[in-house]
Amino acid sequence: MTDAVVEFLLSNLKELLLYHSDLIYGLKDQVESLHKDLSLMKAFLKDSREKRNEFEYVREVVRQITDVAYEAEDIIDTFVVNAAMQKSRSRMGRMIHVFDNASLLRNVGRQIESIRAKVKEIYDKKMFGIVSMSGGEPSRRSAREKRPPVVEEANVVGFDEEAKTIIHRLTEGPEHLEVVSVIGMGGLGKTTLARKVYVDPSIEYHFYLRAWVYVSQEYSRREVFRGILESLGLMNNQMLNMSDDWLAEELCRHLRNNRYLIVIDDVWTREAWDDIRMAFPNTDLASRILLTSRNREVALHANADSAPHNLRFLTVDESWELLCRKTFRKERCPPELEDLGRQIARKCYGLPLAIVVISGLLLKREKTHDWWKKVADSVSTHVAKDPKQCMDVLALSYKHLPEHLKVCFIYFGIFPEDYEIPVWKLLRLWVAEGFVQESGQECLEDLAEEYLEDLVDRNLILVATKRANGRIKTCRIHDMLRDLCVKESAEQKFLQVIKGFAPNCPSSTSTQSYHRRLCIHSNVLEFISSKPVGPHVRSFLCFVLEEKHVPRQHTSFILDAFGLVRVLDLRSISFSRFPNEIVQLVHLRFIALFGNFKILPATISNLWNLQTIIVRTTCRELNILADIWKMLQLRHLHTSGISFLNGPPSQTRKNYEDPFVRRNILTISTISPDSCTENILARTPNLRKLGIRGKLITLVEEKGGSTMFDILAKLDRLESLKLLNDAFPLDPSRCIIPGLPPSYKFPPNLKKITLSDTLLDWDHMSTLGMLPNLEVLKLKDYAFKGSRWEPLDGGFRLLRVLKIGRTDLIWWDASGHHFPRLQCVVFRHCSSLEAIPSGLAEVSALQNMELHWPKPTAAYSARLIQRQKLQMQQLGLLNTAFKLFIYPPDV
């Protein structure tokens, strides 16, 4: 994590030197020198990464670097705030020099020199000892990591079906050597499942030779080969001094003429598999490798042609069964403890390791109601009391992460338990926090999404829901891993979570805390009214289930408490007016607000660091007075209702003519049709997502031979377009769009379109069908009207998802060739639709169909499609199962 702290500080210093040197007038030389010193520290941190897990001395030096970097950040950020305030005052009053305060300059200069001296001391005196460190007494942690896990073959719960699936994959299939992988989160039972399969009689009968070897994070090729040879009973004294390659050849020779099964347990990297794979001959005897790993990437590297088996979590009933077996052995649970026991089992969230640990804890004490109630109230806390059995196992995954992913992972500690995290928001937060640094021309959000997918592949983060295009929509983290995040981040002063607040308890506030992030999960109003002070806080986030209204007298708490904040998520707090104090938070990069706002003030434009603006207002309309075109870092503008956006002020428009000035804006949603002018959209060439709400007829009305819609065609990077027809107070039928523009007038790379209340004739679907890259089409309520839809041939070549809301559609005549790649179709409240076209059964890609409140005849036709799909699957004509969901169920 220290690497990320130094990296972010260097990035900030560089930006100050390049773009805001006026704010550090008189200190520029010292800031440049500090930048050079910290660059050396960055190089040292990179060189010392491998030593951190071995030597406590190295870890202590890294902690000192973190403290120095934080101290430097505080000094520079505070000075910039003061300089910006002086500059603002000089504009409003008499014209005085911004930096007349010579004593302030001298003081800050001395502080920077003090920081530089500390950096030099660390580098000169301590780095030398670390770099030259070749002996010493390294930590014994690696020895513990290499120890094979203890696997109980008795009392295994929930693995019967999983074992059958793995056994089938091992004993059936191709004659050539195949790798079958089992992947899952640490503590989920991969080794236990592999052992259950390994000793199964059918496996013993099928494979002439069987061997088991444990690899883990720290491994030796020689030890792996010797372990397999020993497992096969082939090891002798002569082999003890043989080389790795000789052992590999010897192993290969013994395996070549036999059908064998080798279990390779706990493989962490692709390199580990590459190191040992040459020892396993690929003969046509149907031999198998059973590989377990926490990393999906490792499994796919070992066998890209066969999907790894994702080990599932235990169900609630299975968790309870395992808890009973481990706690009561052959006895029954006393009735008075059953409710609490089920509660305890449920709070282990299906993780067998946690259940085993908590069972051991329950065994140590007398089985009383009070003791079990205490455990039930804080299961994760009691599990954490025995770190060697559970938390250390989970922590291995964290310690194995590359540095750029460590900081992203422990950031999940900010979210409450069981919280379903919107990915779009998470990625913007990571970027604003500085966790994602520029790499060539790659978009920061795309890079952040790759980071998330990497964490998912490592089974550290769980996918909750997916988008129509297959990308992750929401994610979550297992509670035990979340506790690990909170624990690690607290030790590194990374974040502090306040779950409850007691006004008279000093520990309830972060007044004396050096944590950089503060997260409030409850009692937010009590916290605010206590007038907290957090001079070191850079992120303040509130996650409260119910929206809380902040009295007017407390709206200034943000500036008073957190003057250096960069991330401010206050969407769970309702403001009666826009908190104007926010405009003084010059370091702000991310802001999320909720309240009764009609105006986004012009002073927001002064926040030159702002990247993401999220404003949800109870008002139907929002007037954006802020000159977003001077906010060079702005990337995302999310507003609710109808937002009115202005172009650059005419008197300063010449300053915005550079075509690269607005290259950062990726999202604008939702704005009025009147705001879709060339003066605005021409300055967003990299726009990816656009939402438009209002009288859409404005977009298609022809004026002077062209329409405003023509401007959209120039947005060649736009992927998502949302068109919501809102004629309030008029009914949408009073403001009908005559039709859609020709397909060539749409942005060329559109992948997703959402329409609502447009009341278009179904004939206009042919226009959408001709869009070459369209993958997702969402027709919300009354997007189209008419009783019959007859698709034309040749359209919707790439469409994967089709969702249709309320409509008067009765007949839909479609065949499989009209939607050749359709994977999912959803109908919501299509109460007039008589039947689902039987031709959709011909679409081999179709996997999901949902009907909400359909007519009985439509539900019946959907079941006929389901029956036909099942028959095709049984005949081997389909590789994937078809899922049908009907609500309310009529059978």
Tell me what the mean pLDDT of segment 740-746 comes to.
Answer: 92
Mean pLDDT, rounded, for 804-828: 94
> Which tokens in the block code for residue 665?
């804006």
Residues 204 and 223 in one domain: yes
Number of structural domains (the chain) is 5
The Cα-based distances of 72 to 7, 108, 358, 528, 654 in angstroms read 13, 10, 44, 28, 38
480 within 8 A of 187, measured Cβ to Cβ: yes
- The string of DSSP codes covering 76-129 is HHHHHHHHHHHHHHHHHSS---TT--HHHHHHHHHHHHHHHHHHHHIIIIIHHH
DSSP string, 733-752: GGG----PPPGGGS-TT--E
Co-location of 32 and 89 in the same domain: yes
What number is the average pLDDT over the span 786-810?
94
- At 655, give phi and psi (nearest 5°): -75, -10
The domain of 812 spans 786-891
Q: Which of 27-31, 74-78, 100-104, 136-140 has the lowest mean pLDDT?
A: 136-140
Does residue 106 lie in a domain region? yes
Please determine, for residue 660, whether its predicted confidence score (pLDDT) is greater than 50: no
- At what angle are helices 2-19 and 28-47 packed, to 10 degrees? 150
Residue 317: closest CA among 268, 359, 355? 355
Here the CATH number for the domain that contains residue 261 is 3.40.50.300
**Is there a single domain that holds both residue 171 and residue 289?**
yes
> Is the residue at 750 inside a domain?
no
* Confidence bin at 601 (pLDDT 50/70/90): very high
Distance CA 114, CA 605 (A): 35
327-381 per-position pLDDT tens digit: 988 788 999 999 999 999 999 999 999 998 898 888 888 888 888 999 898 888 8
- Cα distances from 871 to residues 815, 836, 839, 868, in angstroms, run 19, 18, 15, 5
H runs (alpha helix) in 386-440 = 391-399, 403-410, 423-433
Rg of the chain taking only CA atoms, in angstroms: 31
Are residue 122 and residue 153 in the same domain, yes or no? no
Whether 156 and 292 share a structural domain: yes
DSSP 8-class letter at 842: G
Report, as an integer, the average pLDDT of 31-43.
81
In this structure, which amino acid lies at residue 237?
N
Q: For 460, which DSSP code? A: S
Same domain, 283 and 153: yes
Asked whether residue 611 is assigned to any structural domain, the reply reads no
Q: In one letter, which amino acid is 118?
A: K
Q: With 80 as the cut, is the pLDDT of residue 94 above it?
A: no
Q: Which segment of 36-45, 263-272, 709-718 scores lowest on mean pLDDT?
A: 36-45
Asked if residue 661 belongs to a domain, the reply is: no
Residues 441, 360 share a domain = no
Helices and strands (H, E) in the chain, number of each type: 31, 31
Token pair 């009765």 is found at 810
pLDDT class of 320 with cuts at 50, 70, 90: very high
Q: Looking at the structure, do residues 337 and 452 belong to the same domain, yes or no?
A: no
Final residue belonging to a domain, choices 310, 343, 364: 310
- Assigned domain for 242 exists: yes
**Are 170 and 292 found together in one domain?**
yes
Residue 689 lies in a domain: no
Task: Using the predicted structure, report yes or no on whether residue 147 has a pLDDT greater than 90.
Answer: no
Task: Please determine, for residue 90, whether its predicted confidence score (pLDDT) is greater than 80.
Answer: no
Burial of 267 from C-beta contacts in 10 A (0-12 / 13-18 / 19+) = buried
Give yes or no for a cis peptide into 888 (omega within 30° of 0): yes
Residue where a domain terminates, one of 310, 331, 354: 310
Instruction: Pick left, alpha or beta for residue 329 (phi over 0 → left; psi -120 to 50 → alpha; otherwise beta).
Output: left
The CATH number that applies at residue 452 is 1.10.10.10
Please name the helix (run of DSSP H) or strand (run of DSSP E) that holds residue 622, with its range, or none: strand 621-624
- Does residue 561 lie within any of the structural domains? no
Global pTM reads: 0.89
* Mean pLDDT of all residues belonging to the chain: 86
pLDDT tens-digit series, residues 682-730: 889 999 999 999 999 999 888 877 888 999 999 999 999 999 999 888 8
Q: Where are the alpha helices (DSSP H) in 329-443?
A: 335-346, 352-364, 369-377, 379-384, 391-399, 403-410, 423-433
Of 310, 341, 364, which residue sits at a domain end?
A: 310
Q: 288 and 373: one domain?
A: no
- Same-domain check for residues 350 and 265: no
620, part of any domain: no
**How confident is the model at residue 504, as a pLDDT?**
45
- The reply to whether 224 and 258 lie within a common domain is yes
**pLDDT tens digit sequence for 470-499:** 899 999 999 889 989 998 888 888 898 887
CB-count exposure of residue 388 (10 Å: 0-12, 13-18, 19+) = exposed
Are 738 and 704 in contact by the 8 Å Cβ rule? The answer is no
Extract the tokens encoding 556: 């200034």
Handedness of CA 320, 326, 331, 336 (dihedral sign): negative
